[in-house]
């Protein structure tokens, strides 16, 4: 689950107890290990384990999250699930906090459809489905923007859209707004000062990333890229327009 470089970062967080740190260390191994191996891995990652700590006793009291097998100790499936539930994954601590911040923002999203979009994006992110998280995150954000424009700026938006494209059919619903290409939609709302130029640029980057993730191709996305994508949407859309 964790690479050694990620382990170094997580082990030095003060709000994680020794039991969970031992589970994190176990997650770096692909096979059962002895207590000596656990101590060596901890030392390599810069964690000083108290000499009086009985690691076998601590691991045996994890309620099955770590299990003792013939060849040593290993992380059980419920141990892996536990680590994910408390926010520990391949993500660096800052990236992991993005999911927490998004969940905190959920309570401020009044529209049920939008809230479901955001929650699905968070779940994809937490389950390391990063391309899916990027796609769902963008769907959530554009839904928020469509609803905001429909509620507060529909007349001005239609006027601007008509000015740019004479054959624009006047939008009456949020679905009507979806007829416009999303890149063009960002241009129109920027022209109306609903978003600024710098925000428009960042959102266009998010849109391009969404397009890259929404089609079969060789694009590779890591956890921190997904975190950046969701953080941009969190700070510039969800926290601003809900």
The CATH number fitting domain 4-85, selected from 1.10.10, 3.10.450, 2.40.10, 1.10.3470: 1.10.10
The verdict on domain 93-241 having CATH code 1.20.120 is yes
Per-residue pLDDT averaged across 71-94, rounded?
79
pTM of the model: 0.66
Q: In this predicted structure, which of 125-129, 220-224, 236-240 has the lowest mean pLDDT?
A: 125-129
Would you kindly state where each structural domain of the chain is located, as residue ranges? 4-85, 93-241
**Residue 96 and residue 88: Cα distance in Å, rounded?**
7
pLDDT at 93: 56
pLDDT at residue 140 greater than cutoff 90: yes
Q: What is the DSSP string of 2-63?
A: --HHHHHHHHT-TTS-HHHHHHHHHTT-SS-B-HHHHHHHHHHTT----TT--HHHHHHTST
Q: pLDDT tens digit string along 35-56? A: 999 999 999 999 989 889 999 9
Per-residue pLDDT averaged across 74-90, rounded?
81
pLDDT at 42: 93
More confident residue, 89 or 69: 69
Q: pLDDT tens digit string along 192-233? A: 999 999 999 999 999 999 999 999 999 999 888 998 999 899
Torsion angles phi and psi, residue 218, rounded to 5: -90, 5
Q: Is 93-241 in the same CATH topology as 4-85?
A: no
Q: In this predicted structure, which of 103-107, 113-117, 149-153, 156-160 has the lowest mean pLDDT?
A: 103-107
């Amino acid at each position: 689950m964790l690479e050694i470089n990620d382990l170094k970062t997580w082990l030095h967080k003060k709000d994680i107890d020794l039991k969970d740190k031992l589970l994190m260390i176990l997650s770096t191994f692909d096979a059962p290990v002895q207590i000596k191996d656990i101590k060596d891995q901890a030392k390599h990652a810069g964690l000083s384990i108290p000499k009086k700590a009985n690691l076998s006793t601590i691991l045996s009291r994890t309620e099955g999250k770590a299990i003792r097998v013939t060849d040593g100790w290993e992380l059980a499936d419920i141990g892996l699930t536990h680590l994910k539930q408390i926010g520990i994954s391949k993500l660096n601590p800052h990236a992991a906090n993005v999911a927490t911040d998004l969940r905190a923002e959920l309570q401020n999203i009044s529209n049920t459809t939008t809230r479901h979009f955001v929650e699905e994006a968070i779940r994809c992110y937490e389950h390391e489905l990063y391309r899916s998280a990027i796609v769902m995150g963008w769907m959530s954000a554009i839904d928020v923007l469509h609803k905001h424009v429909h509620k507060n700026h529909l007349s001005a938006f239609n006027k601007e859209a008509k000015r740019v494209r004479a054959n624009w059919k006047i939008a009456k619903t949020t679905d009507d707004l979806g007829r416009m290409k999303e890149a063009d939609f960002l241009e129109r709302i920027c022209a109306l000062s609903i978003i600024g130029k710098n925000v428009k640029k960042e959102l266009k980057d998010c849109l391009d990333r969404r397009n890259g993730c929404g089609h079969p191709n060789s694009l590779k996305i890591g956890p921190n890229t997904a975190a950046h994508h969701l953080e941009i949407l969190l700070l510039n859309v969800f926290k601003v327009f809900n």
